[in-house]
């Protein structure tokens, strides 16, 4: 049996994020063979940074919690968030296979039994890991990637033929013979070039939110935001997109780049181009935003693009004298009190405040005003006004309708962090069809080439809904793996 297996042609999977590991596991489960190629020293990618969770519509967990949801409703929310620019057939698959995707991850041991309500969703459906009462929080993306890798390692131990994992190995080209993809060219850490043959290739190289070079994709498609920092790892350079493009692959939605309004400014390194995400849940649990003048300037729970625009228009850069400042970038100050921190979860907050030191504590509004170098009364007035709005005595001038958890009192301790907008996610990428085949400029599949995850475009339209990218990685990663496996099986047949 083992011999038969080693005769089986291989599928080359490029990229060890969630899309790549989902594809790999699918291929192994089908009985195929994989060579997984990862440029970094470990698998994980941006997938390991994800903190809000993965969407699933119609799951057991939802049913247990009495949440009524359906694939149709997820489909509707996804299209609405994407301004209907989405590829409708891909969205349908995404929604229909969402409960199965959550199940797939639960089967590798991820405890996705708690559910979040994220912006733009009609019902709570973003599955994550229950927050422990104390101790370390378990971020969803990190745990998902750890468990998937452990499962693959187990399978590899049982049968070493099934998968070879090459880290610190970068794809630099895709090889074709008579129009058909037959492998890739890679460079290893020592600069050595070599070829990896495969019956098919699955691209899972992620997005281009960190591709800032002068000939990079951000320069080409997002010039106006080139100066923004990014929440992504430096490896997010769109290499899969760029290499497939040289083969004639069609790119779609490339200008659709999502800016997240709140990334933390690190007081130790305020100018850093890579920033730590300030999770949306902070504002979801009552954090408010003020500008350098000590005033609110928008609805903290507006859409990502709205809040970003308000910061750029109404929040000036913050001076170095306050917590190190914002290095000249338009920035907001995020404020929390003990009640909102409790609601968000102490362990996760302590990570931001104690380990990363993003938050500083002030005894009251007066002390904060002094530090911010504004008139003593300004922040007190801002907080008093917000309290009146919170209590329903006044309309919010910015249209905020939901007021989570608690209003901060001027006389209690206040925790403050500087946040700035940052490039977060690239909706555009390679056009694929329902079988995850990469489509060329003429509308035909490029034979032997498949793609899944952030390297592709179409699923999210103009704007991605929170929790939908991890979902996309599992759903289309599995489809791409399945297609790639089918192609390798067909190749082995034609050899007989």
Ligand X SMILES: *[C@@H]1O[C@H](CO)[C@@H](O)[C@H](O)[C@H]1NC(C)=O
CB of 286 to ligand FAD, least distance (A): 20
C-beta of residue 210 within 8 angstroms of C-beta of residue 232:
yes
Nearer to ligand X, 118 or 479 (CB): 479
Given the rule CB under 6 A, which of 13-21, 57-65, 211-219, 382-390 is the region that contacts ligand FAD?
A: 13-21
207 contacts 17 by C-beta, under 8 angstroms: no
256 an active-site residue? no
| Residue 128 C-beta: closest distance to ligand FAD, Å | 8
Residue number, 39 or 421, with CB nearest to ligand FAD: 39
Q: Shortest Cβ contact with ligand FAD: which residue?
A: 17
Binding range to ligand X, per CB under 6 A, among 67-75, 239-247, 291-299, 475-483: 475-483
Q: Does 463 bind ligand X (CB under 6 A)?
A: no
Count of residues touching ligand X (by CB under 6 A) = 5
* Closest to ligand X by CB, 174 or 479: 479
Min CB(46)–ligand FAD separation in Å:
3
- Strand pairing partners for 183? 175, 197
Q: Is 483 in the site for ligand X (CB under 6 A)?
A: yes
Q: Is 50 in the site for ligand FAD (CB under 6 A)?
A: yes
Site string for ligand FAD, 436-455 (x = CB under 6 A): -----------------xxx
3-state secondary structure the chain: CHHHHHHCCEEEEECCCHHHHHHHHHHHHHCCEEEEECCCCCCCHHHHHCCCCEECCCCHHHHHCCCCCCHHHHHHHHHHHCCCCCCHHHHHHHHHCHHHHHHHHHHCCCCCCEEECCCCCCCCCEEECCCCCCCCCCCHHHHHHHHHHHHHHHHHHHCCCCEEEECCEEEEEEEEECCEEEEEEEEECCCCEEEEECCEEEECCCCCCCCCCCCCHHHHHCHHHCCCCECCCCCCCCHHHHHHHCCCECEECCCCEEEEEEEECCCCCCCCCECEECCHHHHHCCCEEECCCCCCCCCCCCCHHHHHHHHHHHCCECCCCCCCCCCCCECEEEEECHHHHHHHCHHHHHHHHHHCCCCEEECCHHHHHHHHCCCHHHHHHHHHHHHHHHCCCCCCCCCCCCCCCCCCCCCCCEEEEEEEEEEEEECCEECECCCCEEEECCCCEEEEEEECHHHECCCCCCCCCCCHHHHHHHHHHHHHHHHHHHHHHHHHHHHC
Find the residue with minimal CB distance to ligand X: 486
Q: Which is nearer to ligand FAD, 49 or 146 (CB)?
A: 49
Smallest distance from ligand FAD to CB 108, Å: 15
Q: Binding to ligand FAD (CB under 6 A): which residues in 243-282? A: 277
d(CA 61, CA 67): 9
Q: Which of 62, 169, 482, 488 binds ligand X (CB under 6 A)?
A: 482
14 binds, among ligand X, ligand FAD, none (CB under 5 to 8 A by kind): ligand FAD
Contacted by 469, from ligand FAD, ligand X, none: CB < 5 to 8 Å by type: ligand FAD
Contact between 350 and ligand X by CB under 6 A: the answer reads no
Q: How far is CA 309 from CA 71, 260, 261, 296, 408, in A?
A: 32, 11, 8, 14, 25
Among 51, 435, 447, 462, binds ligand X (CB under 6 A): 435
Tell me how far, at minimum, the Cβ of 471 lies from ligand FAD, in Å: 6
Residues numbered 114 to 143 that lie near ligand FAD (CB under 6 A) are: 141
d(CA 453, CA 161): 26
479 touches ligand X (CB under 6 A): yes
**Active site residue: 260, 296, 310, 329, which one?**
260
Contact between 439 and ligand X by CB under 6 A: the answer reads no
Build a one-symbol-per-residue string for 27-46: x at contacts with ligand FAD by CB under 6 A, - elsewhere: ----------xxxx----xx
* Total binding residues toward ligand FAD, as defined by CB under 6 A: 41
Cβ nearer to ligand FAD, comparing 280 with 440: 280
Closest by Cα among 365, 408, 417, 368 to 390: 408
Q: How far is the CB of 53 from ligand FAD (least distance, A)?
A: 5
- CB-CB neighbours of 224 under 10 Å: 8
15 contributes a contact to ligand FAD by CB under 6 A: yes
Stretch binding ligand X (CB under 6 A), from 122-130, 353-361, 457-465, 476-484: 476-484
Q: Which of 10, 52, 292, 482 binds ligand FAD (CB under 6 A)?
A: 52
For the chain, how big is the Rg over CA atoms in Å?
24
* Per-position x/- string for 196-235, each x denoting binding to ligand FAD as judged by CB under 6 A, each - no binding: --------xxx------------------------xx--x
Active site residue 121: no
d(CA 128, CA 57): 14
Q: Which residues bind ligand X (CB under 6 A)?
A: 435, 479, 482-483, 486
Q: Which residues bind ligand FAD (CB under 6 A)?
A: 14-20, 37-40, 45-47, 49-54, 141, 170-171, 204-206, 231-232, 235-236, 239, 277, 425, 453-455, 467-470, 473
Catalytic positions, written as ranges: 260, 283
């Amino acid at each position: 049996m083992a011999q038969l297996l080693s005769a089986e042609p291989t599928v080359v999977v490029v990229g060890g994020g969630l899309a790549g590991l989902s594809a790999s596991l699918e291929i192994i489960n089908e009985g195929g063979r994989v060579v997984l190629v990862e440029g970094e020293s470990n698998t994980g990618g941006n997938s390991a940074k994800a903190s809000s969770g993965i969407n699933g519509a119609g799951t057991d967990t939802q049913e247990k919690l009495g949440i009524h949801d359906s694939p149709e409703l997820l489909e509707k929310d996804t299209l609405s968030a994407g301004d209907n620019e989405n590829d409708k057939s891909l969205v349908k698959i995404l929604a229909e296979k969402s409960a199965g995707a959550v199940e797939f991850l639960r089967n590798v041991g991820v405890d996705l039994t708690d559910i979040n309500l994220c912006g733009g969703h009609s019902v709570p459906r973003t599955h994550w890991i229950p927050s422990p009462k104390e101790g370390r929080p378990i971020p969803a993306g990190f745990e998902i990637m750890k468990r998937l890798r452990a499962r693959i390692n187990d399978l590899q131990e049982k049968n070493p033929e099934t998968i070879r994992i090459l880290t610190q190995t970068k794809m630099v080209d895709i090889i074709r013979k008579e129009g058909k993809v037959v492998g890739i060219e890679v460079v290893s850490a020592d600069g050595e070039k070599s070829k990896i043959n495969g019956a098919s290739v699955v691209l899972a190289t992620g997005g281009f939110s960190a591709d800032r070079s002068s000939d990079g994709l951000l320069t080409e498609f997002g010039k106006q935001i080139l100066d923004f920092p990014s929440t992504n790892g430096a490896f997010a350079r769109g290499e899969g997109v760029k290499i497939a493009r040289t083969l004639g692959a069609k790119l779609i939605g490339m200008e659709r780049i999502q800016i997240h309004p709140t990334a933390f400014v690190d007081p130790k390194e305020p100018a850093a181009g890579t920033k730590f995400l300030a999770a949306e849940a902070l504002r979801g649990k009552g954090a408010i935003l003020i500008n350098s003048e000590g005033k609110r300037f928008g609805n903290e729970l507006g859409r990502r693009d709205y809040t970003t625009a308000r910061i750029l228009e109404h929040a000036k850069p913050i001076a170095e004298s306050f917590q190190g400042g914002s290095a000249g970038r338009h920035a907001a100050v995020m404020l929390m009190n003990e009640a909102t921190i409790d609601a968000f979860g102490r362990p996760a907050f302590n990570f931001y405040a104690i380990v990363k030191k993003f938050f500083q504590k002030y005894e009251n509004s007066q002390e904060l005003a002094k530090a911010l170098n504004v008139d003593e009364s300004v922040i007190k007035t801002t907080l008093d006004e917000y309290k009146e709005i919170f209590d329903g005595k006044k309309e919010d001038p910015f249209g905020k309708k939901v007021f989570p958890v608690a209003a901060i009192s001027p006389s209690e301790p206040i925790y403050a962090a500087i946040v700035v907008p940052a490039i977060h996610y690239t909706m555009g990428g390679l056009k694929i069809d329902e079988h995850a085949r990469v489509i060329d400029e003429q509308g035909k599949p490029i034979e032997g080439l498949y793609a899944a995850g952030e390297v592709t475009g179409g699923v999210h339209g103009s704007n991605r809904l929170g929790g939908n990218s991890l979902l996309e990685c599992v759903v289309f990663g599995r489809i791409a793996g399945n297609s790639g496996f089918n192609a390798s099986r067909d190749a082995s047949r034609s050899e007989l």
